[in-house]
Amino acid sequence: MSLKNAIGGVALIAGTAIGAAVLALPVITAHLGFIQTLIIYGLCWVFMTVGALYLLEVNLMVGYGCNLISMAEKTLGSIGKYITWCIYLVLLYALTAAYLSGVGAWIVQGFQLFNLKLSPFESALIATLLTMFIILLGTAVTDWINRLLMIGLIGAFATLLFVVFEHMQLTSLFIQVNTLDLRPLPLIITAFGSAIVVPTLTDYLHGKPRQLLYVVLIGSLFPLIVYIIWESAILGTIPLSGNPGLLQIQQHGHAATDVTAALKTLLNNNLITHASIYFSIFALATSLLGVTLSLFDFLADGLHIAKRLKTRLWLSLVTFGPPLGFIIFMPKGFTFALSFAGIFVAILLGILPAIMAWQGRYRLNTPRPLQIIGGKPLIVLTVIFFMLVIGIECFNQCQLLLAKAGSLKETSSFDVDQPQS
């Protein structure tokens, strides 16, 4: 494996994880304080990385070139195979639809610069065709395009930090916060959800265990560093309370866009707006490429289709057709699925890889080119952690349902109690 391919692998993992939502993370965690947020980031990174390494171990155990369906079938049997099919398709189709919709929105704005108007369908179709064309060209071309996008992403992020850091107040990072809240945990683990691309990378980098181990570790470490730096920059610049304040944005605003607006107001610098726009575009594009490339390879494995020239077009239609259909005909469908993304990620990238590693090691005694340290205790601890995440997400969803029910009840009561004019 060449160094340039290894660098591309690191960029693909990092780019898949880092989405535009990174701008919103400091708002979501503002009430926790910097130290508690660091602990939660570290916890999520550790277990999501362990899940990625278990995927790598099982993929090498089964034989590189296989994807999740073959891995689940050979280690967990038919039940594991069908569970993987269902969760993977729901999550990846929903993510693809969301990213295509986001890229389409930027395409609309781009055309407006030339006084041209596009409908949501037209913009989504252009985003789909562009991405499909890149994926059709293969992993190597996707890798190179992703590297260029990562350069843009890093440049935009560095510009944001350059403007913000000179206004930081380090004392703001260590304001005493007594709140203990694990509710953001399911959302934060999705910010480290790059393991989905591991089977594709294993095939692309020819299944060399040691090099792949380093690629996964370094690639997954990069998002953690970015999130911590951005967290410190925002908490050190935007006050916790007041207007604009992080708590106010958390309760009443739109996390990503209002952070940019608050920075522009506080620092009086238009460069922040431009840098955040470019960062959002590059982050969306890199995530879209990582997710769709993973989905493409997953479908090739699950449907037992060799990735030849004649079949790649058909695979592309199966990869991009359903998400485009969701955007056009059922826009609320993929947003509803994404509300449960924490549960899907916990099962697909946490629990299933751990159980597959257990089965391969201790039940099937399959020869292993690579075995992750920690033995049975780490596997059990990993499953417990992700079960906790699922429990928290179920609690969060119940709270949302109760809040909506209460809101509807109050609205109904208000309507009934109003005197007739």
Count, in order, helices (H) and strands (E) of the chain: 17, 0
What pTM was computed for the model? 0.91
**C-alpha closest to that of 94 among 331, 362, 282:** 331
Helix (H, G, I), strand (E, B) or coil at 64: strand
Question: Are 204 and 139 contacting, i.e. CB atoms less than 8 angstroms apart?
Answer: yes
Burial label for 83, CB within 10 Å (0-12, 13-18, 19+), is: middle
Residue-range domains of the chain with CATH: 3-408 (1.20.1740.10)
Structural contact between residues 16 and 290, judged by C-beta atoms closer than 8 angstroms: yes
Return the residue matching tokens 């009443």. Answer: 252
Distance separating alpha carbons of residues 198 and 204, to the nearest angstrom: 10
Residue 415: its pLDDT value, please?
54
Task: Give the pLDDT confidence of 101-134 residue by residue, as tens digits.
Answer: 889 988 988 898 888 898 888 999 999 999 999 9
283/280 Cα distance (integer angstroms):
5
Q: What is the pLDDT of residue 94?
A: 92
What is the predicted pLDDT for the residue at 416? Answer: 46
| Backbone CA torsion sign across 239, 243, 246, 247 | positive
pLDDT of residue 294: 94
DSSP one-letter string for 315-333: HHHHHHHHHHHHHHH-HHH
Angle between helices 139-165 and 255-267 (to 10 degrees): 40
pLDDT of residue 421: 35
In angstroms, rounded to a whole number, what is the distance separating the alpha carbons of residues 327 and 265?
34
Tell me how far apart the alpha carbons of residues 352 and 119 are, in angstroms, rounded to a whole number. Answer: 40
Give the pLDDT confidence score for residue 2 in this predicted structure: 67
* Cβ contact 175:33 at 8 Å: yes
Alpha helices in 63-205 (DSSP H): 68-112, 120-136, 139-165, 185-190, 198-204
**Residue type for position 129:** L
The count of other CB atoms within 10 Å of the CB of residue 110 is 14
C-alpha–C-alpha distance, residues 88 and 77, integer Å = 16
∠ Cα 73 78 81 (to 5°)? 55
Cα distance between residue 368 and residue 56, in whole Å: 11
The answer to whether 97 and 326 have CB atoms below 8 angstroms apart is: yes
Contacts of 394 (CB under 8 A, 6+ apart): 343
The pLDDT tens digits of the residues spanning 202-261 come to: 988 887 898 999 999 999 999 999 999 999 988 988 888 888 888 888 887 666 667 888
Give the C-alpha separation, 125 to 136, whole Å. 16
- Tens digit of pLDDT at every position of the chain (421 positions): 467 788 899 999 999 999 877 878 888 898 888 999 999 999 999 999 999 999 999 999 998 788 999 999 999 999 999 999 999 999 999 999 999 988 998 898 889 888 889 888 899 999 999 999 999 998 899 999 999 999 999 999 999 899 888 888 888 887 767 678 889 999 999 999 999 999 999 988 887 898 999 999 999 999 999 999 999 988 988 888 888 888 888 887 666 667 888 888 888 888 888 898 899 899 999 999 999 999 999 999 999 888 887 788 899 999 999 999 988 888 777 777 888 899 999 999 999 999 999 999 999 988 889 999 999 999 999 999 999 999 999 999 998 888 877 766 665 554 544 444 3
Measured in whole angstroms, the distance separating CA 213 from the mean position of its chain's CA atoms is: 21
| Cα–Cα distance measured from residue 202 to residue 216, given in angstroms and rounded to the nearest whole number | 10
How far is the C-alpha of 301 from the C-alpha of 341, rounded, in Å? 23
